């Protein structure tokens, strides 16, 4: 059917048909996860007694904003957390993580990253790259890290050894721009147990970006004390135009609230304007939208494996985030793949992606993202730093039919280079 709307070669059509057939079993499994999470979502809404009045926002200070408080209650209930901040006031996922880190860490505390070095933009927050910008290190917070083992799994023995003196055990669930798999909830649980054996008072925090609703539980149901993420990824359902969330133990979330607003006011202020309906609706549809993105991820892995490229994770593997990486082999192929994805985007389909400098990154980055929300990565996007092995990271797809078209167009343009 795609060839009725776009010029697709016979080779690409054959690869597409084979990929769809091979992915059938994985798609059925993802549909079961979606159904479970959607029913869990419905129950969280009904048990929280969400009413039409909660969809109305406030102005000014936002005192006694019932809709804001109820939305956080829904998300806390949904994720098995004691409390949550689910708000549009967070400017990005990195900002959300920054609020959480500054909220709970104090001078001389040790932040121990146990999944290797965090992704590029958070390195500036920690103080590993930028200077004189108000990083954690400038404020006296100490930092150390433990690399994953060669097979991409956590080094549990080293984690238990070095968590004894740490205030925070920091876990990045997704890969960022790294050649390693996303962590499973079982691995997050193992890390949490190892950390708390060494130090019962340690704070286990998870960067949950890209991981929400990929399984039937969340990190706060698997030993994490705190987690954070972005609303223009999975939990915003492609509808939330901005925002982020922090969820976990009540006392920790409260500390984060005082960092988000001001010491002494915490979560009691913050108006919601006219955005609450979008946040509620996006969250409600998030399990279904995440399922569509996961299907796109599985399909992309399978399609590019068929075409002879290395794609991670394999289409047969369990998904713990929505990202698929493809080693294209050259800057030219990176550009071709991004150009195809851009062509198959509903917004700015006519644009031509080119590599350029981007704040927070040392290498030039190329990005295809024709999204309704700027920077949204629950909508189909493809990007990567231009460095060997010239890997493109693909994520998102709010509906599989359109995402499949964009991915296939990218593959077609790569085939054109080979020819």
**DSSP states along 128-174:** SS--SS--TGGGT-EEEE-PPPTTS---HHHHHHHGGG-SEEEEE-S
Tens of pLDDT, residue by residue over 143-158, are: 999 999 999 999 999 9
Does 20 share its domain with 101? no
The C-alpha atoms of residue 396 and residue 398 are separated, in whole angstroms, by: 6
Tens of pLDDT, residue by residue over 263-286, are: 999 999 999 999 999 999 999 999
Does 304 share its domain with 327? yes
Whether 56 maps to a domain, the answer reads yes
Does 273 share its domain with 154? yes
Q: Of the residues 283, 299, 327, which one is the last residue of a structural domain?
A: 283
CATH number for 130: 3.40.640.10
Tens of pLDDT, residue by residue over 298-317, are: 999 999 999 999 999 999 99
Whether 375 maps to a domain, the answer reads yes
CATH number for 21: 3.90.1150.60
Beta bridge partners of 145: 113
Q: Of the residues 266, 283, 300, which one is the last residue of a structural domain?
A: 283
Does 218 share its domain with 83? yes
Strands 110-113 and 168-172: parallel
Q: What is the mean pLDDT of residues 189-195?
A: 98
The C-alpha atoms of residue 199 and residue 167 are separated, in whole angstroms, by: 9
**How far, in Å, are 227, 377, 384 from residue 238 at the CA level?**
21, 9, 22
Residue 86 exposure: Cα atoms within 13 Å on the Cβ side: 31
Whether 47 maps to a domain, the answer reads no
How much is the pTM? 0.95
Q: How confident is the model at residue 419 (pLDDT cuts 50, 70, 90)?
A: low
Does 73 share its domain with 196? yes
Q: Does 120 have pLDDT greater than 90?
A: no
Whether 46 maps to a domain, the answer reads no
Tens of pLDDT, residue by residue over 93-112, are: 999 999 999 999 999 999 99
Whether 371 maps to a domain, the answer reads yes
Q: What is the enclosing helix (H) or strand (E) of 305?
A: helix 276-306
- Domain of residue 366: give its range: 2-38+288-418
Q: Does 360 have pLDDT greater than 70?
A: no
Residues sharing a CB contact under 8 Å with residue 184, sequence separation 6 or more, in sequence order: 215, 318, 320
Does 168 share its domain with 297? no
Q: What is the mean pLDDT of residues 106-131?
A: 93
Paired tokens of 186: 């079982």
Whether 255 maps to a domain, the answer reads yes
Whether 311 maps to a domain, the answer reads yes
């Amino acid at each position: 059917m795609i060839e009725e709307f776009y010029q697709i070669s016979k080779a690409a059509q054959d690869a597409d048909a084979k990929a769809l057939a091979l992915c059938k079993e994985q798609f059925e499994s993802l549909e079961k996860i979606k159904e479970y999470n959607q029913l869990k979502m419905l129950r969280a809404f009904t048990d929280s007694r969400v009413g039409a009045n909660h969809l109305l926002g406030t102005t000014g200070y936002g005192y006694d904003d019932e809709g804001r408080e109820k939305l956080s209650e829904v998300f806390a209930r949904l994720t098995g957390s004691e409390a949550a901040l689910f708000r549009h006031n967070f400017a990005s996922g990195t900002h959300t993580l920054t609020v959480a880190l500054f909220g709970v860490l104090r001078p001389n505390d040790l932040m121990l990253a146990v999944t290797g070095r965090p992704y590029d933009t958070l390195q500036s927050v920690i103080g590993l790259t930028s200077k004189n910008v108000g990083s954690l290190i400038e404020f006296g917070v100490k930092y150390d890290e433990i690399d994953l083992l060669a097979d991409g799994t956590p080094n549990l023995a080293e984690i238990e050894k070095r968590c004894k003196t740490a205030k925070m055990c920091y876990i990045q669930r997704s890969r960022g721009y790294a050649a390693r798999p996303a962590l499973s909830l079982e691995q997050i649980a193992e890390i949490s147990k190892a950390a708390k054996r060494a130090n019962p008072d340690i704070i286990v925090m998870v960067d949950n970006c890209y991981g929400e609703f990929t399984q039937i539980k969340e990190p706060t149901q698997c030993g994490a004390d705190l987690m954070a993420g972005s609303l223009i990824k999975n939990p915003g359902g492609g509808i939330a135009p901005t925002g982020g969330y922090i969820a976990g133990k009540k006392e920790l979330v409260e500390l984060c609230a005082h960092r988000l607003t001001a010491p002494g006011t915490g979560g009691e202020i913050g108006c919601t304007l006219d955005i609450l309906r979008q946040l509620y609706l996006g969250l409600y549809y998030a399990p279904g939208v995440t399922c569509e993105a996961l299907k796109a991820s599985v399909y992309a892995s399978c399609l590019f494996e068929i075409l002879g490229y290395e794609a991670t994770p394999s289409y047969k593997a369990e998904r713990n985030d929505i990202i698929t990486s493809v080693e294209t082999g050259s800057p030219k192929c990176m550009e071709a793949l991004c150009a195809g994805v851009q062509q198959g985007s509903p917004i700015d389909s006519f644009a031509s992606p080119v590599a350029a400098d981007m704040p927070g990154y040392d290498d030039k980055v190329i990005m295809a993202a024709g999204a309704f929300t700027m920077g949204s990565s629950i909508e189909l996007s493809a990007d990567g730093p231009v460095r060997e092995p010239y890997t493109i990271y693909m994520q998102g797809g709010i509906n599989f039919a359109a995402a499949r078209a964009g991915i296939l167009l990218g593959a077609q343009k790569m085939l054109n280079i080979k020819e």
